[in-house]
């Protein structure tokens, strides 16, 4: 006889009504009061499923793995782990983050890199060996590049050289992204962006001028805000066809300034391909935000300012990895040809997995294994017993390793924020859903009212309602 799955959560929202969420199928279902009371009984006594109450609803519960047969959960978890491993270990497309230099013209107060004064740029020999590496790893798939640093515009000629060589080699360069502080973006750079297949530029502004200039100064201590804004103005006024994403690193010192600053920037670039997003700064107390504080902040941004933070309100499937660290065919390459599995490891010799200048490029494969296997939540009994296991894929692998290695008391920082905020986040998602539903009604598009059957699916898998930044 099927039983109630421990990967199912039933909750009541005073504002929105009754809901059922399945982490196993990553499905959110809204129910009316009779169905909710039936579910309460079903959770306590699965045999009531046989009393003839709404057989179509019972079929849905089985299809969404809310009612499960003996051993079904274990099989489903095994399948999800297998799919995740296939995605992470498969060669597939190549994704490469390249640091042409670790030098930086900024001295940001919170920077995790300590190589600003290393002026080394990638040598011709390293470039040639990197090209050999790219051709080998790309095979017949697509390649994408992120230009990183240091500050990549300090070595823009290297960016240009490597890109030209990739294009000439026949490797399918799908796109590239430039992560820059924006201070040195000039007309020469802007004119080359499209030819270099750079479809997006990420620039960091940490708030209005009076805040930004206290956090993101030049090495000589001078301010940077006005120059960066001027360069973004120039970028948006150029022939560049790509987009600009302005990142705001958030901690307790600038969190209250984000919403008005975002509005100011979006108004300045209205009609342009400019977005602004908040990103939690990984910095310790007293200024850093805990995971719980960050989630509360994102919820408050939505209700008070109608700002939707990406990847916060609806869980993502755990059948894929999260970042470079998880995937076999994703790498970070430094100016000496050294290879890493995490952006935050750049400049740390003990964290290199190899070097493109050596015949055996992967000399420390245990580091790659550590990031991929040690952070696999399916391997841990405490995680397998957690009802959120199938949808906890957004946890940073490096954070996981650091917290677990230190046996930290704040081990919750290495768990998904949904562990404490699932119902609150899903309520926000449903509120977004209602906005979408209202728009459909105005456009005379079909919707499924709850009253029709007493239950309706609000989201399947990764969420059927758009929940990106507005």
pLDDT bin (cut points 50, 70, 90) of residue 40 is very high
Residue appearing with tokens 């975002």: 262
* Better pLDDT: 87 or 462: 87
Q: What is the reported pLDDT for 469?
A: 35
* Structural domains present in the chain: 3-70+422-459 (no CATH), 91-366 (3.20.20.70)
Contact 151, 180 (CB under 8 A): yes
Q: Residue 443: CB partners within 8 Å, gap ≥ 6?
A: none
pLDDT of 467 > 70? The answer is no
Residue 440's DSSP bridge partners are: none
266-301 tens-digit pLDDT: 999 999 999 999 999 988 778 999 989 999 999 999
Residue % of the chain over a pLDDT of 70: 93
Q: What is the reported pLDDT for 318?
A: 65
- Separation in Å, CA 436 to CA 226, 430, 431, 458: 38, 10, 9, 11
Determine the average pLDDT of the residues in 238-251.
Answer: 97
pLDDT bin (cut points 50, 70, 90) of residue 468 is very low
Residue % of the chain over a pLDDT of 90: 65
Contact 291, 412 (CB under 8 A): yes
The rounded distance, in Å, linking the Cα atoms of 420 and 129 is: 48
The rounded distance, in Å, linking the Cα atoms of 441 and 464 is: 17
- Count CB-CB contacts under 10 A for residue 360: 8
Q: What is the reported pLDDT for 282?
A: 84
Backbone angles phi, psi at 260, to 5 degrees: -65, -35
Crossing angle between the packed helical segments 33-44 and 55-63, to the nearest 10 degrees: 60
pLDDT of 49 > 90? The answer is no
Structure tokens at 389: 């296991």
Secondary structure in 3-state letters for the chain: CCEECCCEEEEEECCCEEEEEECCCCEEEEECHHHHHHHHHHHHCHHHHHCCCCHHHHHHHHHCCCEECCCHHHHHHHHHHHHHHHHHHCCCCEEEEECCECCCCECCCCCCCCCCCCCCECCHHHHHHHHHHHHHHHCCCEEEEEECCCCHHHHHHHHHHHHHHHHHHCCEEEEEEEEECCCCCCHHHHHHCCCCCEEEEEEECCCCHHHHHHHCCECCCCCCHHHHHHHHHHHHCCCCCCEEEEEEEECCCCHHHHHHHHHHHHHHCCCCCEEEEEEECCCCCCCCCCHHHHHHHHHHHHHHHCCCCCCCCCCCCCCCCCCHHHCCCEEEECCCCEEECCHHHCCCHHHCCEECCCCCCECCHHHHHHHHHHCCHHHCHHHHCCCCHHHCCCCCHHHHHHHHHCCCCCHHHHCCCHHHHHHHHHHHHHHHHHHHHHHHHHCCCCCCCHHHCCEEEEECCCCCCCCCCC
* Better pLDDT: 84 or 26: 26
Q: What is the reported pLDDT for 259?
A: 98
Q: Residue 246: CB partners within 8 Å, gap ≥ 6?
A: 202, 203, 204, 205, 232, 265, 274, 275, 276, 277
The rounded distance, in Å, linking the Cα atoms of 243 and 70 is: 50
202 by Cβ neighbours in 10 Å (0-12 / 13-18 / 19+) ranks as buried
Q: What is the reported pLDDT for 352?
A: 92
Q: Residue 107: CB partners within 8 Å, gap ≥ 6?
A: 116, 217, 218, 219, 221
Q: What is the reported pLDDT for 465?
A: 45
Structure tokens at 327: 């995937």
**Rg of the chain, C-alpha, whole Å:** 24
Determine the average pLDDT of the residues in 22-41.
Answer: 96
Q: What is the reported pLDDT for 410?
A: 60
Determine the average pLDDT of the residues in 225-240.
Answer: 97
Structure tokens at 155: 């070595």
The rounded distance, in Å, linking the Cα atoms of 390 and 387 is: 8
pLDDT bin (cut points 50, 70, 90) of residue 50 is confident
100-112 tens-digit pLDDT: 999 999 999 888 7
Determine the average pLDDT of the residues in 441-455.
Answer: 89
Q: What is the reported pLDDT for 337?
A: 96
CA-based diameter of the chain, in Å? Answer: 76
pLDDT bin (cut points 50, 70, 90) of residue 364 is confident
Contact 21, 8 (CB under 8 A): yes
Q: What is the reported pLDDT for 408?
A: 54
Report the mean per-residue pLDDT for the chain.
90
Residue appearing with tokens 């008070």: 304
- Count CB-CB contacts under 10 A for residue 452: 9
Asked which of 154-163, 387-396, 427-436 is least confident by mean pLDDT, the reply is 387-396
- Separation in Å, CA 444 to CA 49, 437, 439, 441, 457: 37, 10, 9, 5, 20
Q: What is the reported pLDDT for 421?
A: 94
Structure tokens at 464: 């059927």
Sheet holding 455-459: strands in order across?
Answer: 8-13, 17-22, 27-31, 455-459
174-191 tens-digit pLDDT: 999 999 999 999 999 999
pLDDT of 152 > 90? The answer is yes
pLDDT bin (cut points 50, 70, 90) of residue 120 is very high
Q: What is the reported pLDDT for 321?
A: 67
pLDDT of 92 > 90? The answer is no
pLDDT of 370 > 90? The answer is no
């Amino acid at each position: 006889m099927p039983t109630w799955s421990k990967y199912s959560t039933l909750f009541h929202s005073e504002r929105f009504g009754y809901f059922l969420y399945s982490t196993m199928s990553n499905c959110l279902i809204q129910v009316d009061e009779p169905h909710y009371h039936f579910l309460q009984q079903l959770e306590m006594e699965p045999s009531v499923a046989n009393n003839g109450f709404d057989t179509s609803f019972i079929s849905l519960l089985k299809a969404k793995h809310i009612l499960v047969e003996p051993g079904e959960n274990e099989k489903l978890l095994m399948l999800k782990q297998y799919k995740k491993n296939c995605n992470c270990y498969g060669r597939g497309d190549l994704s490469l983050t390249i640091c042409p230099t670790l030098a930086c013209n900024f001295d940001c107060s919170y920077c995790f890199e300590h190589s600003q004064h290393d002026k080394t740029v990638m040598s011709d020999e390293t470039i040639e060996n990197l090209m050999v590496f790219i051709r080998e790893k790309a095979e017949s798939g697509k390649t994408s590049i992120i230009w990183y640093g240091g500050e990549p515009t300090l070595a823009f000629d290297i960016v240009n050289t490597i890109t030209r060589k990739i294009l000439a080699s026949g490797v399918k360069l799908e796109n590239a992204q430039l992560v820059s502080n924006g201070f040195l973006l000039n007309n020469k750079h802007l004119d080359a962006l499209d030819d270099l297949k750079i479809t997006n530029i990420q620039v960091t502004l940490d708030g209005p001028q009076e805040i930004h200039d206290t956090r993101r100064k030049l090495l000589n201590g001078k301010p940077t805000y006005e120059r960066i804004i001027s360069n973004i103005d120039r970028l948006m006024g150029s022939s560049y066809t790509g987009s600009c994403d302005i990142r705001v690193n958030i901690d307790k010192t600038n969190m209250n300034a984000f919403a008005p600053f975002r509005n100011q920037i979006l108004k300045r670039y209205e009609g342009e391909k400019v977005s602004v997003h908040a990103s939690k700064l990984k910095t310790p107390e007293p200024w850093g935000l805990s995971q719980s504080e960050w989630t509360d902040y994102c919820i408050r941004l939505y209700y008070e300012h109608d700002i939707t933070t990406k990847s916060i309100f609806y869980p993502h499937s755990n059948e894929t990895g999260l970042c470079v660290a998880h995937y076999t065919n994703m790498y970070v390459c430094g100016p000496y040809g050294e290879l890493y599995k995490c952006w935050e490891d750049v400049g740390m010799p003990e964290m290199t997995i190899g070097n493109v200048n050596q015949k055996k490029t992967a000399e420390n494969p245990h580091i790659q294994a550590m990031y991929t296997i040690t952070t696999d939540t399916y391997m841990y009994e405490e995680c397998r017993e957690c009802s959120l296991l199938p949808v906890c894929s957004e946890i940073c692998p490096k954070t996981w390793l650091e917290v677990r290695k230190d046996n930290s008391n704040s081990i919750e920082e290495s768990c998904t924020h949904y562990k404490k905020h699932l119902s609150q986040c899903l309520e926000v998602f449903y509120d977004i859903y209602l906005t979408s539903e209202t728009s459909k009604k105005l456009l005379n598009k079909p919707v499924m009212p709850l009253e029709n059957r007493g239950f309706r699916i609000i989201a399947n898998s990764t969420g059927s309602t758009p929940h990106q930044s507005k």
